[in-house]
Amino acid sequence: MDVVLADYLRAVALGLLQALTEFLPISSSGHLVLAPRVIGDQVSSLTFDVGLHVGTLLAVLVYFWRDWVDIAVALLRDVPRHRARIAEWSAPSRLGLWIVIATIPAVIAGPVLERTIEGLVRTPVAVAISLLFFSLVIWLADHMGAERRREADLTARRALFIGVAQAIALIPGTSRSGISIAAARWLGFERGAAARFSFMLSAPAVAGAATLTIGGALKDGDAVAWGPMVVGAITAALAGLLVIRVLLVYVQSRSLDVFIAYRVALACVVLAAVALGWL
């Protein structure tokens, strides 16, 4: 197959993979550790990592565009008027603040844990173990959490708890969406509210990941394959919009069991492949 065509096909495949795994609770980082071993990693990290992150970021920004506009307008009104009297802020302003607070743990943990994670847990066996362990965590939270709280019940403390959980997702195989939804479910939030906050919380997390990837890749002198990068980003954005919509509808009436079953099955396949010398 022509090398250029192979790069574009790989971009489409990874764009779909990124969209599915970023928003579904099955771990994007874990899949992206495994994917190069299956479809090859000839294209630079700058080309794919940045393109895929930009694509999923666009999906979140576009899908929730009304919410982002409401948050921005409300903050511009409420901060000068009410200052630190947060109880007097409108709901969109408080939501914006909760997203900022929930992002802080990942901002702190990311640079600290980056080298440790890169060296110790970015292996197929580590990903499989993480998939299995956090499947249990997500299952327990999803089934034990009471459906009594909605988005309006978010507070600074609850947002911070969800943010600490999100920071754990720096470990490949955890799932950023899965662990943040699980944390919200543990606090008693409805599945729909938990998923919605998790998706909106992904915007600063994904933007930060893209920024770090750009910095690292440029420092290493990686070349940019602009065509595959754009194709991967567009694929991830369009597929991401669909995945967000489908999952928000799905969790209104169903548990996360199907995703947990997939995680467990994938972990078993990975461990078997390692044992057989295929990975």
Report angle CA 265, 268, 270 to the nearest 5 degrees: 110
| pLDDT at residue 149 tops 90 | yes
Say what the pTM is.
0.91
Q: Determine the Cα–Cα distance for residues 40 and 31; give it in Å rounded to an integer.
A: 13
> Both tokens of residue 93?
């302003």
Mean pLDDT of the chain: 88
- For residues 12 and 268, which has the higher predicted lDDT (pLDDT)? 268
**What are the two backbone dihedrals, phi and then psi, of residue 149, each rounded to the nearest 5 degrees?**
-115, 145
In the DSSP assignment, the letter for residue 171 is S
H or E segment and range at residue 177:
helix 176-186
Q: What digits encode the pLDDT tens for the residues 68-78? A: 999 999 999 99
- For residues 111 and 20, which has the higher predicted lDDT (pLDDT)? 20
Q: What digits encode the pLDDT tens for the residues 59-111? A: 999 999 999 999 999 999 999 999 999 999 999 999 999 999 999 998 888 77
Q: Determine the Cα–Cα distance for residues 175 and 27; give it in Å rounded to an integer.
A: 4
Q: Determine the Cα–Cα distance for residues 13 and 33; give it in Å rounded to an integer.
A: 14
| pLDDT at residue 45 tops 60 | no
Judge contact between 127 and 270, C-beta under 8 A.
yes
What does the pLDDT average to over 17-40?
82
Query: Hey, what amino acid is at 7?
Result: D
Domain that includes residue 12, residue range: 3-275
Q: What digits encode the pLDDT tens for the residues 170-206? A: 888 999 999 999 999 999 999 999 999 999 999 998 8
The label of the residue with tokens 């110790």 reads: 120
- β-bridge partners, 149: 189
Judge contact between 211 and 46, C-beta under 8 A.
no
- How many folded domains does the chain comprise? 1
Exposed, middle or buried: residue 146 (CB in 10 Å: 0-12, 13-18, 19+)? exposed
| pLDDT at residue 143 tops 70 | yes
* Long-range CB contacts (within 8 A, 24+) of 110-117: 110/167, 110/170, 110/208, 110/212, 113/170, 114/170, 114/212, 117/170, 117/171, 117/172
| pLDDT at residue 208 tops 90 | no
